[in-house]
Structure 1
């Protein structure tokens, strides 16, 4: 039975979601404040979190960022806010999906299932890679397919979907990894925002040009010595971005 943590202070909405997901076979608990939600994450170990942005004790984006520093649990924002800038901010804070109130319970349930499915797929792929390392005699060919590296020690492992920068493991979202894979595969190529949108569309529910800029900004923080003066992910004004060694 999959577990859902709802962090929502509105009792009517919270109870309605809890009842619907409970009837769908989920184990559900609801917390009314951000602090109680943080405590519940440790104790309840949810498979997915439904998070309201407007909580009585803290901002939902702040909570989302805090959770993302220690956990990969999928987070879906459920909020009355529906402006593009707010959805982009949520993605930038580490959310995986965003639904605007009011919404269809059927769609909400489908998205919860999709988030859990995707999370389990990545986890299973990572576990499989750790438990079944390539045979020594095939190591060279296996790693040639699994690793995409540049001369400055940026390594993408497509089996475990992890990025290593100068010997350090760096966490990425799904979309960040896909964008970085395009860059490392084709250094010097200029990608328009539309190119990158097509790369991640289907994984970000509300992906926009602005969301691509947020992903680029986050990647620069993770791989650049000075994100304000990027040397690797460069802006091609009026066009898009390119990656250089």
Structure 2
């Protein structure tokens, strides 16, 4: 049974969300503030988090960042804020999808099912790999790729150092690394995240890429790995 953590201070929305998700077969726990949410992240170990961006004790975007320091769990942000910039801010902070209030419980459960289904699909891909990538030995000399992906743990290492990424960032990086030198249009990258981020668009792709560059590039303003192909999209390059 999949575990879903709902962080929601609005009692009506919180209780309705729990009821409908429970009816769909999920094991659901609710936190009424950010502090309790952080505690349940450790104690409950959810497979997915539904997080209100406006909480009584902490800004939800800051809470997303706190979650991302210790966990890669998929996060569905919910909020009364409907502006595009609000959605982009949430994605930048570490959320994987965004749902505007008021929303139907049917849509909520559909979003949750889609995000969990995508997680399971990626786990299945890992299982069928004959030689999954593990934490590499330190790479020596030029001509070696310093960026390594560990599919089992959905982790990225740069020069043998672990780099924290969101679910969506890992998916993009996996696509780019597995197709070195191939140019991907923004539309192709958007399709990669369908089912994870329902609001994904050109702007949010650029945000994800900018975040990845900050995490893996020595100088994000002069990227060596994730290159922009002007007028088209992005590609991943190495000296290997």
TM-score class, shorter: 0.7 to 0.9
The Cα RMSD (Å) is 3.0
Q: For the structure 1 residues 232 and 21, does the alpha-carbon distance in structure 2 shift closer, same or farther, using more than 3 Å as the test? A: closer
Give the number of equivalent residue pairs. Answer: 231
Deviation of 1:220 (Å):
0.6
Partner SS, residue 225 of structure 1: coil
Q: Which whole-Å CA distance do the structure 2 matches of 1:30 and 1:23 have between them?
A: 15
Taking structure 2 as the reference length, what is the TM-score of the superposition? 0.80
Matched, 1:93 2:93: yes
Q: Which whole-Å CA distance do the structure 2 matches of 1:40 and 1:161 have between them?
A: 22
- List per-residue Cα deviations over 1:113-135 (Å, max 9, x = no partner): 23233334445655x48xxx95x
Matched, 1:192 2:185: yes
Q: Is the 8 A contact 1:77 1:97 kept in 2?
A: yes
Of 194, 209, 226, 1:233 maps to 226
Match of 1:3 in 2: 3
Q: For the structure 1 residues 48 and 124, does the alpha-carbon distance in structure 2 shift closer, same or farther, using more than 3 Å as the test? A: same
Q: Which whole-Å CA distance do the structure 2 matches of 1:188 and 1:2 have between them?
A: 38
Range 156-165 or range 59-68, more displaced: 156-165
In terms of Rg, which structure is larger? 1
- List per-residue Cα deviations over 1:134-176 (Å, max 9, x = no partner): 5xxxxxxx579xx9x9733223455665433212333444433
Match of 1:207 in 2: 200
Equivalent residues in 2 for 1:126-141, closer than 5 Å:
128=127
Of 172, 193, 200, 1:179 maps to 172
Deviation of 1:189 (Å):
4.6
Matched, 1:12 2:12: yes
Deviation of 1:51 (Å):
0.6
Taking structure 1 as the reference length, what is the TM-score of the superposition? 0.79
Q: Is the 8 A contact 1:78 1:98 kept in 2?
A: yes
Q: Which runs of 5+ in 1 are unaligned?
A: 135-141
Q: Which whole-Å CA distance do the structure 2 matches of 1:23 and 1:143 have between them?
A: 36
Deviation of 1:206 (Å):
0.9
Q: Which whole-Å CA distance do the structure 2 matches of 1:58 and 1:67 have between them?
A: 13
Partner SS, residue 12 of structure 1: helix
Deviation of 1:183 (Å):
3.5
Q: Which structure is higher in helix share? A: 1
Match of 1:154 in 2: 147
Q: Which whole-Å CA distance do the structure 2 matches of 1:46 and 1:178 have between them?
A: 20
